[in-house]
Structures are given as structure tokens and as C-alpha cells.
Amino acid sequence: MKILRSLCLFAALPLTLAPAHDLPKLERSFWLNASLAVPKLGYWGTNFPPPASPTTAEITNAARTLIQQANPNRLYLIHHHELPFAKTARIFRDWRTACPATVEIIPALVLRLYDKPAEPVFSAPELDALITFFKTEVHPTKIAVYDVLPKRDQGQALATLAKNYPQGLLRIGLQPDEPLEAPYVGAVEDTWSGFCHGLTNEDWQEHGFGRETLRKWVSLRNEQAQRIAYDLIVVAWDYANTKRGEYPGYDDAHKNLPLPAERNRLAAREILALAKPGTFAGFSADLLIIELNSETAVHDGEESFYTTLKAGKPYDGFYANPWRELCDIFQALSAGRTP
């Protein structure tokens, strides 16, 4: 799922403190599947069976658990036509009902399949029906396009979304070296390699490792007008066969390890120090990637991340330590404290 960004060895950048941010008002968001199901139908192809619909109780459990643990103020709910319209509408209504008004619910649509033909996910009438529903019952002014592959032509569907959301079209999964241009007004940027590169936190802060890369990315985004939220990380790559935490050459859900302790906190402080308030939206986190890695038999299997959410239980599995650290960061920000 994650696309490795090239780790160029940039010259060391000075860390210049940005003006103070209004911490409680920063974005604290998660992206996850509205159906709480792993993506197959409408994502990798059209011949997969539809997933089981989550019950209203399961959505209520998931929303309550996320809010109690992390206090997010925004949820991007990914939808890729995995269920018919009536079931989809009920699911989004359940999420809206389960979350307090202080939590924004923003639909995040997959517009193109991830298989080789990359056909459109929605027909024009299907997209129109979703837009009408979303505007009326979910969010009147904001919607997102979810795509972790860079620079894909999203087709006519993007123009349709831009027409209906002229000031509120967002991009989820933007890659660090991918330009963000109109019609998007903001994005959540994938930071995987910038957070993972370094076995220890001392390694991560060395010249040529992750901190330097992350600083470069933030500095580049400071030069544009659109607001960017940066992805905090729970699932890292496999460090087992590396000397100092270099990229191992693969992204394998059976081998990926938890992000080292305190890495998210260090990275969040770097971003808060360097990002300009006018171009900095806040922080986000990809919960789908936790599910895809935790559901493997060598990690959590039947007690995967989404499964625990639906049961209303705090996640205590293979990736629990960085997950709790991320939740603590969100809680600190919501209380106006620097992580």
C-alpha cells in the first residue's frame, strides 16, 4: 500500500522555529474504511464478493473507542463502492450519529481501481447520488479523494467533485514529492519513509536519515498555499535485516515492525517547529494500514485492529505501542500541550 519515497541525502537543514500553532485547533484525523472491511471489491477489481456490512453497534463501538483513546476531531471515511448505495448510506449515517458534532466526518472516495486497467470506480449517476447524499447528511462542503499512488489521472469524477466542492476538495495519501495542485485545497501527506528510516532514534536524527528527509519535505510544503496534514506512523518497515534501519527493499505485511518508541513524538515536534501555520493543517494517521498489517497470522490474526474497534475494545496487539503513543500525541494536542 505504501509507496517508498526516494531517500535523497540532503544537506543538513537548520531547524528554524515557526510561529506558535494553535494546538487544540490543529487537525487530528484518522483515515479508515467506512465499512470497517479490508478493500477488495471496488478497490482491486469488480469480481470480488462484497464484505459483510458492519452493524450499527459495531460502528458505534468503533467511533466511541477511537474518541476515547485519541480524541480525533476529523475522520476520513474511505468508500470504494464495496457495498450498494442503501447500505453505504446507512453506514455513513451511523458514523455521523455515533460521533459528536465536534468530529468532522469527511467521505474519502477511491475514484480509480488499483488493478492494472484502473477503471473508474463509480459511474456518473452513482457519483451524483453519493454527492447528493453526502452534502445533505454527512458534510455539505468537504470531500476527499483517496489515492496512495502518485499523479494518477482521476478522470471525469475529479471534475465532478471539484464542481460540487469548490473550496473543500482534499487529497488523502499525497506522496512527499508529488505536487498538490488545483482543484485540491489541502491534503494529508504520506510520511512513511521519513519516519521509518533509522533503527534507533539516534540513527533517525543522523545526517542522511529520516529526520533530515522529513525536514526537507516540510520545508518544501511551506512554500505552497495549500494546507497539509502530516501522517503519523504506526507500522514501520522491517528492520530485521538492516544495519541502521535502512529501507529493506520490500514492504511486507507479514514482516513489517512497529515504529520505534518515541519516534512519532520526535517527528511531531520537528513538524510543529518547522511547519508554517498558514500551510500546516495538523496530523493524521492511516488506520487501514494498521489493519492490513495486523490481520496477518504472524501478527494479530483474528484479533486485528478493525476487529477490536468493532468490538469496542482498545487495541492491544502487535502494533499497540506506537498506536498508544500516537493516541497520546492527539490527546496532548487537543489539550493544548506540545507532545
pLDDT in tens, 232-285: 999 999 999 999 999 999 999 999 999 999 999 999 999 999 999 999 999 999
Q: Share the mean pLDDT of the chain.
A: 94
User: pLDDT > 90: what percent of the chain?
Assistant: 94
- What is the identity of the amino acid at 80? H
Q: Give the DSSP H/E element, type plus range, for residue 232.
A: strand 227-232
Distance between CA 257 and CA 198 in Å, rounded? 13
Which residues, in sequence order, are CB contacts of 240 under 8 Å at separation 6+?
Answer: 248, 255, 257
Q: 264-286 burial, b if ≥16 CB within 10 A, otherwise e? A: bbbbbebbbebbeeebbbbbbbb
d(CA 50, CA 46): 9
Question: Measuring CA to CA, which residue among 161, 207, 169 is closest to residue 186?
Answer: 169
CA distance 103 to 109: 19
Identify the pLDDT of residue 19: 54
Q: Please tell me the chain's helix, strand, coil percentages from 3-state DSSP, rounded to the nearest 5.
A: 35, 15, 50
- Residue-wise pLDDT tens digits, 276-329: 999 999 999 999 999 999 999 999 999 999 999 999 999 999 999 999 999 999
Other CB atoms within 10 Å distance of the CB of residue 231: 25
Residue 145, Cβ neighbours under 10 Å: how many?
Answer: 25
Read off the pLDDT of residues 155-182 as tens digits, 9 standing for 90 and up.
999 999 999 999 999 999 999 999 999 9
Task: Give the cell for residue 162.
Answer: 471539484
Checking if the pLDDT of 10 tops 60, the result is: no
Residue with cell 508529488: 178
The answer to whether the beta carbons of residues 30 and 66 sit under 8 Å apart is yes
Residue 84: the pLDDT is 98
Q: What b-and-e string marks burial along 46-64, b requiring 16 or more CB atoms within 10 Å of the CB?
A: eeeeebebbeeebbbbbbe
Domains and CATH numbers, the chain: 23-334 (3.20.20.70)
| Cα R_g (the chain), whole angstroms | 19
pLDDT at 9 over 60: no
